[in-house]
Amino acid sequence: MKNRLEELRKARDIKQEELAEILEVSRQTIGSLENGRYNPSIMLAFKISRYFGMPIEEIFLYEEDKK
Amino acid sequence: MKRNRRLGWLIIIASFVLFVSVSLLRDGRYEGVWGMIGTISSGLLGGGVVAGVALIRNSRNEETAKKASIAQRDERNIAIRGKAAYITLNVQFFLIFLYSAYIMYILDDSTTAFIGYGIAAAGLILNAVLYRIYEKKM
């Protein structure tokens, strides 16, 4: 699943550490989310969407598995 | 903060008390079941000291404590720990069964071998019980 986390974070001019503190997760989790290596839980996805004031589907872009 | 420091010291003292008690109860017996109990108590002493020192150290610095608390609750860390624990558990079971079989057939020590099988069985039962509990909760 792709996401726009890095783009949105940079638009707000905040560091990964700061976003991690706001969302109460580790900095590594933010890094993994931005790289698309880790998909967040629905709770974290809602926290992120609330923080950026955008719907989840505008931040996380769902793609069907290509087989 | 103070609670964590107290808990840290409590864990360290309890680990030492357990180790010393087991050492006294062993009374110079280093083989068979007593040898195994001694090894387990040494392991618990090491683990207890490490956990206790970590708690005491984290309680001294608020920033470190906060970071440690976030790292503990972080959902990615929890997922990583879960995956690692699942693989470790399966490998451990395999090794315990293999080791017990080796002891039973090669060394012809069925008592010690059955202790190994018993530990593995207890682990499997605990795993099944926890699965049922979480199945109902989730």
Residues from chain A that touch B62, judged by Cβ atoms under 8 A, are: none
Inter-residue contact B58 to B64 (CB < 8 Å): yes
Answer whether B77 touches A (CB < 8 Å): yes
Question: Bridge-partner residues for A60, per DSSP?
Answer: A3
Distances (CA, A) of B107 to A20, B104, B110, B114, B118: 55, 6, 9, 13, 18
What single-letter DSSP state applies at residue A54? S
Q: What is the reported pLDDT for A1?
A: 84
**Greater pLDDT, A4 or B31:** A4
pLDDT tens digits, A23-59: 999 999 999 999 999 999 999 999 999 999 999 999 9
Question: Bridge-partner residues for A2, per DSSP?
Answer: A61
Return the H-helix or E-strand segment holding A3: strand A2-3
- pTM listed for this prediction: 0.66
Please report, rounded to a whole number, the percentage of residues in chain B having pLDDT higher than 90.
36
What tokens does B113 get? 């071998």
Nearest CB to B75 within list A20, A21, A44 = A44
Mean pLDDT of B74-101: 92
Interface predicted TM-score (ipTM) over 0.90: no
Q: What is the reported pLDDT for B66?
A: 82
Whether the pLDDT of residue A12 is over 60: the answer is yes
Answer whether B78 touches A (CB < 8 Å): no
